[in-house]
Amino acid sequence: MKDQLKIAIYSGDIPSTTFIERLIIGLSRKDCEIYLFGFTKKKISYSKSVSVFAYKNTKISKTLFLIKYSLLLLLFKGKDKRKLDAILKKQSKNLLLDKVKCYPILWHKPDIFHVQWAKGLADWVWVKAFGIKLVLSLRGAHINYSPIADATLAAMYKENFPRVDAFHAVSIAIGLEAEKYNASREKIQVVYSGLRPDQMSVKLPKENPVFQIISIGRPHWKKGYTYAIDALKTLESQGFKFHYTIIGGANHIEFSYQVHDLKLENEVTLLDTLPYAKVQELMVDADLLLLPSIEEGIANVVLEAMQNRTLVLTTDCGGMQEVIQDGYSGFIVPIRDSDAIAKKIIDIMIIEEKAKTSLLNNALDTITSQHSEEEMVSQMLALYQTL
């Protein structure tokens, strides 16, 4: 029997973010073994093909973990251990913690080590010295803006990107951005995020007394909510009736103050994070999903809205133009332009039912053809198999 490919998906946390978990579960159904390393935030059960080698974020757990793998390596892979110790000694800022993180990887030695977050890349280049192939995902802020504001990070990317065996880009746009830091074009493969067809909501949308706009996402500046709120002030001043809800926007003083200062308390609701099912329900009920972001790879929430047949208005940030065509499968406005958001919302408010149906059909077609989970997993597996 042919040896199965052993793939380590490393994000540091177990469980990881929704889209990384989707990848793990998808791959676990294929003919390969998945290894997860890092620390456990909460207990989660995977299928048999997923092996978890994790510690809890406590001193005792880390100590026991370190003793176990130190002994195993010392007894059975002494030479490798000495080699790794020498590498870590040169580069490490916290030698003990790095040993806790690295020893299990050296012991289990996956064929491929897939790092999900680029900022941590320098910590994992050592795997190449042991014949492990290194794959890096190019995602959002790590590529799009952090290296612009942090020259040290940019220098680290320029030094280490040539050592990466393959890049997984979440969009064409982010792949191009990574090339600025010496990522070789030939090594970059775009694999779009995928959704499962059974995740499509079956709930029927409700008739809203006023136009319902929704945004979903953590309260981070890159989400551009300040532009959205400014835009809605323009709408309110012009007498338009609407309600805007930001799920995940609660308890953030910048947004609370802006809503209060612009006297939009009746028009804007800032909600805390909600369970996935509730979010999907509110999304279906909304007349428009607004993504006012100034930076994204490709926002998963837009994909979900398209699958759930909710109209989308997005900015042209990151790779959003790869999924939304303005006037065909949704609407696009420039980043950092609240006037443009306001104008476009007014256009959308008066759109005819027939045109709306056509837009929603086109959006769903895009998701079906370009963003299926099956396709994502197959493409990722193909990427691994080329190495």
Partner 1 sequence: MAKTRSHIQTIGIVLSSVPGYSETFFRNKIKGLQAHGFRVILFVDYLRADDASFSCKVVSAPPFGASILSAIWYSFFAVLKLFFIHPKRAYRLYQLNKKDGLPFKENIRNLILNHFFLGHHVDWLHFGFGMLAVNRENVAAAMGAKMAVSFRGFDLYLSPLKHPNCYDILFEKTIDYHVLSQEMKHDLRGYNIASEHIHIITPAIDTEFFIFHKKRVFTDTLELITVARLHWKKGLEYTFEALACLKEQGVNFHYTIIGDGIERERLVFAAYQLGILDDITFAGKLPHDQVRKTLENASIYLQYSIQEGFCNAVLEAQSMGLLCIVSDAEGLAENVLDGKTGWVVPKRQPKVLAQKINDVHHLSIDEKEKIITTAKYRVKSIFNLEQQNQAFINFYENKRK
- The contact set with partner 1 (CB under 8 A) reads 145-146, 148-150, 221-222, 226, 230, 251, 253-254, 256-258, 260-261, 294-295, 335-336
Distance in angstroms (rounded) separating the CA atoms of residues 141 and 146: 6
Residue 315 and residue 246 in contact, taking contact as beta carbons nearer than 8 Å: no
How many beta carbons lie within 10 A of that of residue 366, not counting itself?
Answer: 20
CB of 257 vs partner 1, minimal distance in Å = 6
Q: Residue 167 is encoded by which pair of tokens?
A: 């890049």
CB closer to partner 1, 237 vs 361: 237
Q: Considering beta carbons, is residue 120 or 205 the nearer one to partner 1?
A: 120
d(CA 210, CA 257): 24
150 vs 374 by CB, closer to partner 1: 150
Q: Residues of 239-275 as b/e, b for ≥16 C-beta within 10 angstroms?
A: ebebbbbbbbbeebeebbebbeebebeebbbbbebee
Contact yes or no for 318/298 (Cβ under 8 A): yes
Q: Based on CB atoms, which residue is closest to partner 1, 253 or 350?
A: 253
- Spatial CB neighbours of 378, under 8 Å, sequence gap ≥ 6: none
The neighbouring-strand residues paired with 247 are 216, 271
Measured CA to CA, the distance from residue 160 to residue 278 in angstroms comes to: 42
Give 204's DSSP letter: P
- For residue 325, give every residue at least 6 positions away whose Cβ sits within 8 Å of its Cβ, in sequence order, or none: 332, 362
CB of 146 to partner 1, least distance (A): 7
Provide the minimum distance between the beta carbon of 318 and partner 1 in the complex, in angstroms, as a whole number: 11
Minimum Å distance from CB 46 to partner 1? 35
* Between 40 and 256, CB nearer to partner 1: 256
Q: Which is nearer to partner 1, 4 or 251 (CB)?
A: 251
Tell me whether residue 27 or residue 299 sits nearer to partner 1 (CB atom).
299
Q: Given CA atoms 87, 91, 96, 102 in this order, what sign does their dihedral have?
A: negative
Q: How far is the CB of 138 from partner 1 (least distance, A)?
A: 17
Q: Least separation, in Å, of the C-beta of 221 and partner 1?
A: 5
Q: State which residue, 32 or 294, has the beta carbon closest to partner 1.
A: 294
Q: How far is the CB of 42 from partner 1 (least distance, A)?
A: 24
Q: Residue 65 Cβ, how far from partner 1 at the closest point, in Å? A: 25
Cα separation, 86 vs 80, whole angstroms: 10
Look up tokens 């012991």; give the residue. Answer: 107
Residue with tokens 């990427």: 383
